[in-house]
Structure formats: C-alpha cells, structure tokens
C-alpha cells in the first residue's frame, strides 16, 4: 500500500511540475523522472489546485473593492502566471498555424515559430475576454471560486483522452515525447474531473459544464486531425483553453 501511495505522490508531483511553475522545493527534486503519460490521471487534480489559487486571487481582489470584471481579470492573470501561460501559448501557436498555413507542413512550421501572429493574437483576445466576462457574470465570490476549480479540473481532465485518441502530428516535440496514456489512465482522469465538477457546483451544473467542455475538446481535436493529422503540445494547449472557456461559460449560464 505504501508503494502505491508513493507512486501516486510521485506522479502527482511530476504532473504538477510539468503543468505549473509552482515552487515545489524538496517535493519537486525528489520526484523521479516519469513519462508524462504515466501522470495524466493527476491532471484534473492539478487543475483543481490551479483553479483554487485563481479563485483565492478573485476572492481577495473582490474583497479589496475591485469591480467584478477587474477581479476576474486578476483571477485569469493569476492562473496564467501559475502555469507560465503554457496553454495560452499553445492556443496562440495553434491558431496561427491553422489560420496561416496552406499545407500541413507549413502549419506545423508556423506552430513551431515562437513569434505570434494575427490569428494567435485574436485567439488570445477572445479566450481571455470570454473567460473574464464569464467569471464576472457568475455571481458571488464563492461561486466563482467553485467555477474556477471546475473549469481548470475539466480542461485538464480531457487532455489525457486527446493524447490517447490522437496520434502525434510530428515525430519530435511534446506531443510525441509525452507518450500515449493507457485507457484506464484516461478513464480515471475523466472520472476525477467529473467528480470534482459535481461536488463543486452540483450534479446538473457539473454535468453540463463537463459535457460542454468535452464537446469543445472533441471539436478542436477533430479540427487538429483534419489540419495536421494529429496532436502536438500546442494542440493540447488549445484544447485546454477551449475546454476551460466552455466550462466557465456553462457555469455562468447556470448561475
């Protein structure tokens, strides 16, 4: 039992190390090298941590007298800071590649370019804008806190399914190096994400947010398959951003 507990702890810290820039100290240095695919069950748990920190930032900003829109922007900025804007970067690169490339090879080349183009800027504007408006419209600060936890847990919970279903679009890079998660890991991640959503905001609202986030994730995955023949790290980032935005909009609609 102790060995299983140690393995789960190591996998959680490995996922936390990859998905965030939180200073983990000794816990980080003691985490062994693991395949990212081995840690995907913990993605929604990491999302819960990220969402909770963003929720705390919103509560503090609101308590200091900031308007709801400003407090929502603080929350979004906090979660981007925690993750190093990992997923925002992926969304921008994906939008530039899909929008600006005429061929599969050109799209992949554009996505690898560190410079941001018009499509990437627009994607970030719409993504951040929709999230900020949704958060500001949800209602009380504690409802926002719960909704942020749900959105970040669900958006990370769908990533293992995308990694499992979509082939890597190139032979190198994060999409290829992460590996393909086993089906049981995918199901565990989805179950954890759904459980977090239901506990945090209730059965009907949690299921609705999960369904909407899943549909958006499927749509982006389908588009990536048509555009470049699979997934890359940037595509996974775009899936996370789309699912997070969709979950927040669903929470706002229920509120």
39-94, pLDDT tens digit by residue?
A: 999 999 999 999 999 999 999 999 999 999 999 999 999 999 999 999 999 999 99
d(CA 247, CA 156): 11
DSSP 38: G
Q: Give the per-residue pLDDT at 7.
A: 78
Is the CB of residue 28 less than 8 Å from the CB of residue 13?
Answer: yes
Rounded to two decimals, the pTM is: 0.93
- Give the DSSP H/E element, type plus range, for residue 50: helix 43-63
Rg (CA), the chain: 17
- Kind and range of the H or E run holding 44: helix 43-63
For the chain, the domains span 41-254
Q: Quick: pLDDT tens for 152-165.
A: 999 999 999 999 99
The distance from CA 8 to its chain's CA centroid, rounded to whole angstroms, is 21
Q: What local confidence, expressed as pLDDT, does residue 31 receive? A: 47
- The answer to whether residues 237 and 90 touch, using CB atoms and an 8 Å cutoff, is yes
pLDDT mean across residues, the chain: 91
């Amino acid at each position: 039992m102790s060995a299983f507990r140690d393995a789960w702890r190591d996998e959680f810290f490995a996922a936390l190390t990859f998905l965030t820039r939180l200073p983990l100290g000794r816990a980080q240095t003691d985490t062994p090298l693991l395949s990212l695919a081995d840690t995907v069950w913990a993605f929604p748990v990491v999302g819960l941590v990220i969402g909770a920190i963003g929720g705390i930032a919103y509560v503090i900003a609101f308590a200091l007298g900031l308007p709801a829109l400003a407090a929502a922007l603080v929350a979004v900025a906090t979660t981007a800071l925690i993750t190093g804007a990992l997923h925002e970067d992926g969304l921008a690169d994906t939008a530039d590649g899909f929008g600006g490339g005429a061929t599969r090879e050109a799209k992949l080349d554009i996505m690898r370019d560190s410079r941001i183009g018009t499509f990437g800027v627009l994607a970030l504007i719409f993504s951040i804008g929709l999230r900020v408006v949704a958060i500001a419209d949800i209602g009380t600060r504690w409802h926002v806190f719960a909704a942020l936890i749900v959105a970040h847990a669900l958006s990370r919970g769908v990533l293992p399914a995308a990694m499992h279903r979509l082939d890597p679009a190139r032979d190198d890079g994060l999409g290829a190096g992460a590996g393909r998660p086993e089906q049981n890991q995918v199901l565990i991640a989805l179950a954890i994400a759904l459980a977090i959503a239901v506990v945090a905001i209730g059965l009907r609202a949690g299921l609705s947010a999960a369904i909407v986030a899943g549909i958006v994730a499927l749509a982006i995955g389908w588009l990536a398959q048509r555009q470049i023949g699979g997934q890359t790290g940037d595509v996974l980032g775009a899936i996370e951003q789309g699912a997070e935005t969709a979950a927040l909009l669903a929470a706002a609609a229920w509120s």
